[in-house]
């Protein structure tokens, strides 16, 4: 599924509102994408109505989970790996690709859609070759966008100008739209709990700038900040946005940020997370380096669980070890930076390089 996967699965009326408030370049390619989204929205609306009739009352009577675990941090910092590892814990559940693709009807549409979507979804993500599948853990911003139509992803798909879409967009709506956003996020988590009966572990870089609100909505939540050397994060992020925008954009204002813009936003996000963590009790927040996680994943998870006062079981360690063994053949993408780019990134991220032990000669 290489085209418009960020928006496919949205219901008809929200899709029409989203399209009507944004500029679209009606090229043959974009027109084909719009037709695909429209037919997808009709099916989604149908299944959503069926789900409401079947589960509406029981869902309303189900308490909102108080204790999700939020993995935050900039894109390309290893949050996907951490998410996958923690999803091996039999006491936890991660939102799946199917659930975030069809957040309003996954309770009733799974058996209908699975054979169709399985044939459209490749075996790995296009930006990094990470395994992907309908039941694999997935970032829940895709669900939030479909449920609320309010996400920075809107500016990635419909950029108003040729500029870095993250620089001039709000990570949360205002007024009544915020109340609706909160309600729909809580309802989505309620549905996952109904489907699994387990504690939710979410991975979503966009949540990095929503920590105070999430801490209020989910009073027993835990937050894990994963970091990685900026020399790996910056070029990998640039590649990410190039691939995702190419596959989802619906006008001609596409723009790929340069190393300076990405490094500046990385610094902003990292500083914000650190500031927000100071407002949380110590056992509700933790930091982990990607490099340490890769070097010794079992020890890293044991330490993380101990700090967050979470139960680390022998069953989890056994499943974790099996999963790590299954990753033996995986090869990361390799990116190169010029000395000029390294010096630029190091100058911007100097305090964070020191904090996380990444200082080196460039």
Question: Cβ contacts of residue 246 below 8 Å, gap of 6+?
Answer: 254
- Residue at token pair 């001039």: 168
Closest CA to 167 of 233, 72, 260, 60: 260
Helix, strand, coil abundance in the chain, percent, nearest 5: 55, 5, 35
CATH number of domain containing 315: 3.40.50.300
Residue at 152 is within a domain:
yes
Tokens matching residue 174: 């205002």
- The whole-angstrom distance between residue 271's C-alpha and the CA centroid of its chain comes to 19
Residue at 1 is within a domain:
no
- The whole-angstrom distance between residue 73's C-alpha and the CA centroid of its chain comes to 10
pLDDT of residue 335: 84
- The whole-angstrom distance between residue 62's C-alpha and the CA centroid of its chain comes to 25
Closest CA to 308 of 137, 150, 86: 86
pLDDT by residue for the chain (362 residues), tens digit each?
A: 467 899 999 999 999 999 999 999 999 999 999 999 999 999 999 999 999 999 999 898 999 999 999 999 999 999 999 999 999 999 999 999 999 999 999 999 998 987 777 666 656 656 556 667 788 999 999 999 999 999 999 999 999 999 999 998 899 999 999 999 999 999 999 999 999 999 999 999 999 999 999 999 999 999 999 999 999 999 999 999 999 999 999 999 999 999 999 999 999 999 999 999 999 999 999 999 999 999 999 999 999 999 999 999 999 999 999 999 998 876 777 788 999 999 999 999 999 999 999 985 44
Residue at 5 is within a domain:
no
Residue at 2 is within a domain:
no
Report yes or no: 199 and 68 within 8 Å, Cβ to Cβ.
Answer: yes
Question: What strands, in cross-sheet order, belong to the sheet with 92-93?
Answer: 92-93, 199-203, 69-72, 222-227, 285-289
At 199-258, the pLDDT tens digits run: 999 999 999 999 999 999 999 999 999 999 999 999 999 999 999 999 999 999 999 999
Residue at 3 is within a domain:
no
**CB hemisphere CA count around 71 (13 angstroms):** 30
Residue at 362 is within a domain:
no
Range of the domain at 236: 12-355
State the angle between helix axes of 297-307 and 314-326 in degrees (0 to 180), rounded to the nearest 10.
140
CA distance 66 to 333: 37
* Phi-psi label, residue 332: left if phi above 0, alpha if psi -120 to 50, beta otherwise: beta
CA distance 308 to 302: 10
pTM across the whole model? 0.94
Residue at 361 is within a domain:
no
Residue at 4 is within a domain:
no
Report yes or no: 204 and 172 within 8 Å, Cβ to Cβ.
Answer: no
Report yes or no: 214 and 186 within 8 Å, Cβ to Cβ.
Answer: no
CA distance 261 to 208: 18
> What is the tally of structural domains in the chain?
1
DSSP state at residue 64: P
At 79-92, the pLDDT tens digits run: 999 999 999 999 99
């Amino acid at each position: 599924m290489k085209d418009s996967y960020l928006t496919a699965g949205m219901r008809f009326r929200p899709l029409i509102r989203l399209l009507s408030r944004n500029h679209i370049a009606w090229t043959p390619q974009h027109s084909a994408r719009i037709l695909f989204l429209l037919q997808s929205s009709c099916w989604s609306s149908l299944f959503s109505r069926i789900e409401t009739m079947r589960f509406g009352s029981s869902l309303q009577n189900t308490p909102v989970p108080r204790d999700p675990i939020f993995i935050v941090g900039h894109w390309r910092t290893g949050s996907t790996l951490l998410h996958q590892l923690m999803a091996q814990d039999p006491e936890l559940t991660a939102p799946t690709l199917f659930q975030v693709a069809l957040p309003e009807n996954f309770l009733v549409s799974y058996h209908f859609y699975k054979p169709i979507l399985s044939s459209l979804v490749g075996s790995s993500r296009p930006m990094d070759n990470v395994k992907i599948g309908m039941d694999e853990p997935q970032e829940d911003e895709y669900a939030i966008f479909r449920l609320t139509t309010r996400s920075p992803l809107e500016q990635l798909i419909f950029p108003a100008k040729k500029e870095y879409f993250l620089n001039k967009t709000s990570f949360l709506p205002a007024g009544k739209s915020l109340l609706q956003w909160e309600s729909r996020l809580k309802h989505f988590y309620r549905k996952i709990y109904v489907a699994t009966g387990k504690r939710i572990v979410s991975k979503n870089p966009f949540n990095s700038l929503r920590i105070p609100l999430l801490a209020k909505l989910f009073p027993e939540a835990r937050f894990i900040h994963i970091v990685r050397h900026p020399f790996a994060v910056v070029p990998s992020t640039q590649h990410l946005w190039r691939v995702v925008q190419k596959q989802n954009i619906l006008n001609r204002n596409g723009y790929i940020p340069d190393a300076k813009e990405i490094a500046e936003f990385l610094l902003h996000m990292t500083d914000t997370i650190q500031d927000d963590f100071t407002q949380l009790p110590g056992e509700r927040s933790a930091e982990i380096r990607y490099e340490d996680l890769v070097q010794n994943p079992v020890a890293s998870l044991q330490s993380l669980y101990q700090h967050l006062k979470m139960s680390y079981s022998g069953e989890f360690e056994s499943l974790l070890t099996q999963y790590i063994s299954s990753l033996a053949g995986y090869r990361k993408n390799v990116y190169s930076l010029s000395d000029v780019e390294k010096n630029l990134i190091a100058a911007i991220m100097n305090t964070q390089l020191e904090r996380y032990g990444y200082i080196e000669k460039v």
